[in-house]
C-alpha cells in the first residue's frame, strides 16, 4: 500500500511511530501545561493561538463471544441495531467531550466519521473514530472519547446476552495540525480511515487551498 503521508509532506515538527521530534521551545523542557507554576490544575489559555485545520483518529476494540458477534452482524441484538446506535453515541460523545473531561476546551468539530470492523476469528469489533476541526486546539480527546463511548454502547446493547465482553486497546493512531505537527502510530498512517495527502500539509497551506476552493466555487 502506498504511504498516505510522505515525510517530505510533514512541514511542521513531527512525531512518528511514538518517536518525539523537538516540539519544545529552545531552552525549555516539555512540561504539563494543565498545571500552573504552583502546581494547581488549570485550563490552558489558547486565546493567542491561531486557528488551524486539525484531524485526529482513535481506535478501540471490544472482544466478545463469537455468538454475540454473529448476533450483532445479523441485526438481532436484544436492544436493536447495535452499530447504528453506537455510531450515534460516538458522535454525541465526541461533540460533548469538554463536558466530560475537565480540562478540555469546547471546540467546534467540523466532521466526525465512525466505522466498525468485525474480526470474526478473534470475536471482536474494532471501532475507529475520525474527527476534524478548524480551531485553536487539537481534537485528540474528542476522537478518543468517541471511540470509548462507541465501545461502551456496544457493551450496553449486548450485555443481556454477554456480560463477559472486554473493552481495550483504546489509542490515538493519528493526529495532524497545530504546533506539534503530525503524529502517526504507524509510518504508513492508520489503514482505511480515508486520510488524504492534504492531511500532511502545514496549516497555512491547507487553509490557502481551502480559500482557493471557496473562491472557485463562488465564481
* Interior/surface letters 33-52, b for 16+ CB within 10 angstroms, e for the rest: eeeeeeeeeeeeeeeeeeeb
Taking a C-beta distance cutoff of 8 angstroms, is the pair 126, 116 a contact?
yes
Q: How far apart are CA 128 and CA 60, in angstroms?
A: 7
State the number of CA atoms in the 13 A half-sphere of 98 facing the CB: 11
* Residue 195 near residue 45, CB atoms below 8 Å: no
Q: What is the DSSP letter of 35?
A: B
Q: Is 188 a catalytic residue?
A: no
Helices and strands: H and E segment counts in the chain = 5, 7
Residue that is written with C-alpha cell 519544545 in the block: 24
CA distance 137 to 107: 8
d(CA 190, CA 182): 12
Q: Which of 156, 162, 169, 205 is catalytic?
A: 156
Residues pairing with 131 in the sheet: 56, 112
Residues annotated as catalytic are 156
Amino acid at each position: 500500500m502506498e504511504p498516505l503521508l510522505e515525510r517530505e509532506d510533514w512541514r511542521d515538527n513531527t512525531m512518528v511511530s511514538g518517536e518525539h521530534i523537538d516540539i519544545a521551545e529552545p531552552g525549555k523542557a516539555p512540561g504539563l501545561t494543565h498545571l500552573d507554576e504552583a502546581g494547581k490544575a488549570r485550563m490552558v489559555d489558547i486565546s493567542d493561538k491561531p486557528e488551524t485545520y486539525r484531524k485526529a483518529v482513535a481506535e478501540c476494540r471490544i472482544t466478545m463471544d463469537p455468538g454475540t458477534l454473529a448476533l450483532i452482524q445479523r441485526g438481532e441484538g436484544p436492544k436493536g441495531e447495535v452499530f447504528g446506535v453506537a455510531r450515534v453515541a460516538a458522535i454525541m460523545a465526541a461533540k460533548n467531550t469538554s463536558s466530560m473531561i475537565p480540562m478540555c476546551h469546547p471546540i467546534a468539530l467540523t466532521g466526525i466519521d465512525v466505522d466498525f470492523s468485525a474480526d470474526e476469528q478473534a470475536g471482536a469489533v474494532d471501532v475507529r473514530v475520525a474527527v476534524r476541526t478548524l480551531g485553536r486546539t487539537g481534537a485528540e480527546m474528542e476522537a478518543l472519547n468517541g471511540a470509548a463511548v462507541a465501545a461502551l454502547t456496544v457493551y450496553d446493547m449486548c450485555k443481556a446476552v454477554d456480560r463477559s465482553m472486554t473493552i481495550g486497546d483504546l489509542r490515538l493512531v493519528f493526529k495532524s495540525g497545530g504546533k506539534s505537527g503530525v503524529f502517526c502510530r504507524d509510518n504508513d498512517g492508520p489503514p482505511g480511515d480515508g486520510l488524504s495527502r492534504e492531511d500532511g500539509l502545514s496549516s497555512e497551506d491547507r487553509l490557502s487551498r481551502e480559500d482557493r476552493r471557496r473562491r472557485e466555487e463562488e465564481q
